[in-house]
Amino acid sequence: MSKLVIEVVYRGREKRVVWTSDDSGRMHGKSYYEKLDHKERAKFRARFEHLGNKGEIRNEEQFRHEVDGIYAIKIPRHRLLCFFDLRDVVITHGLKKQKDKLHRKELDKARRIRSSYYGARPAPKSEGI
């Protein structure tokens, strides 16, 4: 079993936005984000804050459900793919926009990282009856 690595990017009133690792321990989303220039990081940061504080982004030019519970946090020319887990928005990886539709390999990568995440994280604690 792989060791799950999670790092909080932003803690808001409604949600936490977090990076997660793949099976090798690499945080693809964080690595991609750190290579962006200051202005691009600031745009993503604004999306993180909005997601964290409001729990959602309704503007499809900024945030969109792609398929199978995988979402894209969007800025011009760049995407961070993510999914929801209870109170967390979990970022899997980033990519440069190539076409209007995401490549299947990018969606498959997000699914693999999500599967690793669920396989490695402890089960949520029940509230009791």
Q: Which domains does the chain have, with CATH numbers?
A: 6-120 (3.30.2310.20)
pLDDT in tens, 48-101: 999 999 999 999 999 999 999 999 999 999 999 999 999 999 999 999 987 767
- Cα 97 to Cα 22: distance, rounded to the nearest angstrom: 21
Q: State residue 95's pLDDT score.
A: 95
- The most confident of 1-5, 107-111, 116-120, 124-128, by mean pLDDT: 107-111
pLDDT at 3: 78
Band of the pLDDT at 102, cuts 50, 70, 90? Answer: confident
Tokens of 38: 């200051």
Torsion of the alpha carbons at 124, 128, 9 and 95, rounded to the nearest 10: 40
Q: Label residue 125 by pLDDT band (50, 70, 90).
A: low
Nearest CA to 82 out of 40, 122, 114, 50 is that of: 114
d(CA 76, CA 71): 16
Helix (H), strand (E) counts: the chain: 3, 6
Q: How much is the pLDDT for 103?
A: 84
- At 120, the pLDDT band (50, 70, 90 cuts) reads confident
Using CA atoms, how far apart are residues 1 and 92, in angstroms rounded to an integer?
18
Q: In what order do the strands lie in the sheet with 78-85?
A: 6-11, 16-20, 88-96, 78-85, 70-75, 63-67
> What's this model's pTM, rounded to 2 decimal places?
0.90
Indicate whether 127 pLDDT > 60.
no
